[in-house]
Structures are given as C-alpha cells and as structure tokens.
C-alpha cells in the first residue's frame, strides 16, 4: 500500500521511512508541505503521514489541501509534545488520527491499523453502494419494461373493445340500410312517392350515422397531427357555441363567464370538438328547464387553465361514472348516442397535455373540469 510521509526533519523521514518499509508500505517522502502536495497529486496514496509543524505550509494546511483533492484519504498527523491545540484542530479537519513525537512504534502501528481499517470499510461501503445502485437501476429497468408491457396489453384490450364496438355500431346502420334497400327494391313498382322517399330518407340517415362513427374514430387514430396555436379561450368557446345555437332549446340557458385575457395553446378544431361534445351532453342531460355555465380561470401555481362546464341536468349515477369515458358507453336510447363523445374528448384533452375530470350528483347536475397546460408548459409537451 502506498504511503506518503511528509516531514521537514531528514532523520525522521529516514528512520520512520525505514520502519514503514519494513512493514511492507511503499513509502514516498517529502521534505515540505508543498513538495508533499505535489507528490500526493501525482501518486494519490491512500494514507498520508504528515508532521504538523513545518516551515512554509504546515500540517493543517497540508491536511486541508489533501482532503480537498481526495476526501477519502486517511491523514495521520504527527505532533510535538505541546501541540495539543493543533492536534485537536487537525481532528476538526478530519484527520484520521494523530501520534506524538517521539514516535513510538506501537502508537504508529495502532494508528496505521485504524487507518487501514477505515479505508477498507470505505471500500466495502462503496462496493455495497454501487451494488445497491445497480440493483435499483435493474429494478427500475424491469419496472419500466413491465409498465410498457402493461400499457401495451391495456392498449390491446382497449383496441379489442373498440373494434367490437365499431363492428356492432356499424352493423346497426348497415343492416338498416340493407333492409330499406330490399324493401324499396321489392316494392318500388307498387308504391307511391312518399313511401319511397321515406325509405330513401332512412338510408340517408343511417349512412350519416355510420359516417359519424367513422369520423370519430379517425379523430382517435393518430394519423392526423395536432397543430397547436395560441387561441383566445373566450373566442373559441363563443365560436363553438355558434355551431350549436340552433340545437339549444329555449328552456336551456347557457352562461359563459370566461375572462377575455385567457389564452390556450391548442389545436383549434380538436379543442372545439372536445368542448362541443361536453356541451352537447350537458344540453341532452337537461329534461326541462336548466342552466349550463361555462367558467374559466388560470391557476398559475399548478400551471393550468381550468375550464368548468356545469349543468343542472339529471346527473350521472355513481356506478356508471367510471365508464362514461369508455368507447361506446352510452345510456342514450338506440340510435341516439354512439357513446364516442366523451371518449374522443378525453383523448383530445390528454393529447394537449391536459386532463378532464367529472363530478356529478343525481338530480342536481354534473360538472366537467377540463385542465389545459398554460402555454409555457404546453410548449414543453
Ligand atoms: N352532462 C352529463 N349529464 C349526465 N350524463 C352525462 C353527461 N355527460 C355524459 N353523460 C353520460 O355519459 C354517457 C357517455 O357520454 P358520451 O358523450 O361519451 O356518449 P353519448 O352522449 O351517449 O353519445 P355521443 O356523444 O357519441 O352522441 C352518456 O350516455 C351519459 O349517460
Ligand atoms: Mg355525447
């Protein structure tokens, strides 16, 4: 093991050097603190023995310097008889030990043994820590893989549900169209214009329905990239409202309380689609008179724009609440709702780095909270 001995007195270097070499140490010697530091930098010995009182750089300075260069080094201080203060000071700077001059072999042996033990312990601790770190890294990697697998299988399951739903949903309008065509073909010669019109209308409606399902699904597929831009929230909501103005019955009042100052960073068409789905549901949830309120505020702390859609409709039963974002989940009568509205909305909000949550009470109403990241944050998405 390498050992550096720093002492300005040549006889000490010689005698101590000899006895240390006989103990099996590879001893390097320096006659001053400055020289000692030079050698230390070059050789990086794990143990340093330094005299405390030396002209120029003293032992305390040497100790501080060495600890700075390599804090793991064990530094043993050699002190004279009256140097108790200095010795104590050296311990404060993390000297491993001190021995007094004249140096007794046993005292030196004990100090060296302790230093070596400390070094060994540190080494073992280091190995242990690296080992632990590696184990943690492995565990994290394993978790990541598991998570990915889980995600994949979840996605597959969702896809399965989705495909089953698509097949089922498309089957209805298609068989309807097919039946209408058959009837028309069979009866076309013996029937009047109204009869034929009725069936053609039916075919048109069912085709529309099928087309809407396909459109919603295309929305879901990742083909079309999102094009985000800065949009004024109030403008966007007002524009969305103009799409449905004709469908809002007079008994339903819609209140928009959105400050003009709020901007969002979003894909215009998609975000309007998301808002539209929520508002349409709200309108459909109000059987008689009712109010829909749309409020927005900025939460600087959390970095979100919060948009709340609240209705005084029938509310959602707690047992179906967890399912309303599922594809094809609907409580509306056959032919009315496809159950894709909230599924698509959820997807759109998520892909803006936002989230959508819902609270509802049967008989009181429902409120949806859409949280979109503030533009600063949205940029990082
Ligand atoms: N504001 C609301 N009030 C009460 N129930 C709601 C509300 N919003 C959603 N729901 C419930 O969640 C279900 C799913 O909504 P979603 O918009 O996904 O489908 P849908 O409205 O049934 O059909 P679609 O929107 O495809 O025409 C609805 O059928 C309804 O039961
Ligand atoms: Mg809907």
Residue 364, token pair as written in the block: 């009181």
Q: Measured between alpha carbons, how far apart are the two ends of the chain, in Å?
A: 55
- What are the tens digits of pLDDT across the range 32-88? 999 999 999 999 999 999 999 999 999 999 999 999 999 999 999 998 877 788 888
User: Of the CATH numbers 1.20.5.440, 3.40.50.720, 1.10.287.130, 3.30.70.100, which one belongs to the domain with range 143-220?
Assistant: 1.10.287.130
Residue 164, token pair as written in the block: 């089953």
Query: What Å distances lie between residue 300 and 42, 168, 275, 297, 333, CA to CA?
Result: 54, 45, 22, 9, 42
Q: Find out whether the beta carbon of 329 lies less than 6 Å from any atom of ligand 1.
A: yes
The preferred substitution site among 215, 280, 339, 361 for testing ligand 1, maximizing ligand atoms within 8 Å of CB, is 339
Residue ID of nearest Cα to ligand 1 atom 11: 324
Is there a contact between 254 and 241 (Cβ–Cβ < 8 Å)?
A: yes
State the Cα–Cα distance between residues 344 and 147, nearest whole angstrom.
Answer: 24
Residue ranges covered by each domain of the chain: 2-103, 143-220, 228-380
- Can you give the pLDDT at residue 371? 97
Residue ID of nearest Cα to ligand 1 atom 5: 316
Is there a contact between 377 and 303 (Cβ–Cβ < 8 Å)?
A: yes
- Ligand 1: which atom is nearest the Cα of residue 336? 27
Residue 325, token pair as written in the block: 């974002």
CATH class of 228-380: alpha beta
Report the DSSP pairing between strands 2-6 and 26-30. parallel
- Can you give the pLDDT at residue 212? 83
Is there a contact between 47 and 4 (Cβ–Cβ < 8 Å)?
A: yes
- Can you give the pLDDT at residue 329? 86
Which residue shows structure tokens 């080094």? 73
Q: Find out whether the beta carbon of 277 lies less than 6 Å from any atom of ligand 1.
A: yes
Q: Find out whether the beta carbon of 340 lies less than 6 Å from any atom of ligand 1.
A: yes
Is there a contact between 213 and 166 (Cβ–Cβ < 8 Å)?
A: yes
Residue ID of nearest Cα to ligand 1 atom 28: 330
Per the DSSP assignment, residues forming a β-bridge with 359 are 367
pLDDT < 70: residue spans in the chain: 150-162, 219-224, 334-335, 376-381
Q: Find out whether the beta carbon of 311 lies less than 6 Å from any atom of ligand 1.
A: yes
Is there a contact between 169 and 212 (Cβ–Cβ < 8 Å)?
A: no
Query: What Å distances lie between residue 170 and 46, 70, 165, 341, CA to CA?
Result: 78, 73, 8, 16
- Can you give the pLDDT at residue 317? 96
- From the CA of 283, the nearest ligand is 1
Residue 351, token pair as written in the block: 């892909």
CATH class of 2-103: alpha beta
Report the DSSP pairing between strands 290-299 and 355-361. unpaired
Query: Residue 96 — φ and ψ, nearest 5°?
Result: -80, -30
Q: How far is the CA of 284 from the centre of ligand 2 (A)?
A: 8
State the Cα–Cα distance between residues 244 and 276, nearest whole angstrom.
Answer: 8
How many residues in the chain? 381
**Extended strands (E) in 304-379:** 304-311, 355-361, 365-373
- From the CA of 360, the nearest ligand is 1
Residue 108, token pair as written in the block: 């030196």
Is there a contact between 5 and 16 (Cβ–Cβ < 8 Å)?
A: yes
């Amino acid at each position: 093991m390498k050992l550096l001995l720093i002492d300005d007195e040549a006889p000490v270097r010689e005698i101590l050097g000899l006895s240390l070499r006989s103990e099996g140490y590879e001893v390097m010697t320096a006659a001053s603190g400055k020289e000692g530091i030079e050698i230390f930098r070059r050789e990086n010995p794990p143990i340093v023995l330094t005299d405390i009182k030396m002209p120029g750089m003293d032992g305390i300075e040497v100790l501080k310097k060495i600890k700075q260069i390599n804090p793991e080094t064990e530094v043993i201080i050699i002190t004279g008889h009256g140097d108790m203060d200095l010795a104590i000071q050296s311990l404060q700077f993390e000297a491993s030990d001190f021995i007094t001059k004249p140096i007794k072999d046993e005292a030196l042996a004990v100090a060296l043994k302790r230093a070596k033990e400390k070094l060994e312990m540190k080494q073992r601790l280091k190995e242990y820590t690296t080992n632990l770190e590696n184990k943690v890294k492995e565990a994290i990697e394993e978790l990541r893989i598991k998570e990915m697998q889980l995600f994949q299988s979840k996605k597959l399951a969702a896809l399965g549900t989705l495909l089953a739903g698509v097949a089922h949903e498309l089957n209805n309008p298609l068989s309807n169209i097919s039946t209408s065509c058959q009837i028309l073909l069979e009866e076309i010669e013996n029937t009047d214009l109204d009869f034929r019109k009725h069936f053609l209308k039916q075919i048109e409606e069912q085709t529309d329905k099928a087309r809407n399902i396909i459109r919603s699904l295309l929305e879901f597929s990742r083909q079309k990239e999102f094009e985000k831009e800065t949009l004024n929230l109030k403008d966007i909501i007002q524009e969305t409202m103009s799409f449905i103005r004709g469908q809002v019955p007079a008994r339903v009042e819609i209140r928009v309380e959105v400050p003009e100052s709020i901007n969002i960073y979003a894909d215009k068409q998609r975000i309007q689609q998301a808002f539209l789905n929520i508002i349409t549901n709200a309108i459909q949830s109000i059987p008689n008179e009712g109010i829909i309120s749309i409020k927005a505020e900025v939460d600087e702390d959390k970095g979100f724009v919060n948009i709340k859609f609240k209705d005084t409709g029938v509310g959602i039963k707690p047992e179906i609440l967890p399912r309303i974002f599922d594809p094809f989940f609907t409580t509306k009568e056959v032919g009315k709702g496809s159950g894709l509205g909230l599924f698509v909305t959820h997807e759109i909000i998520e892909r803006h780095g936002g989230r959508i949550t819902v609270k509802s009470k049967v008989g009181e109403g429902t409120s949806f909270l859409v949280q979109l990241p503030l533009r600063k944050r949205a940029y990082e998405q």
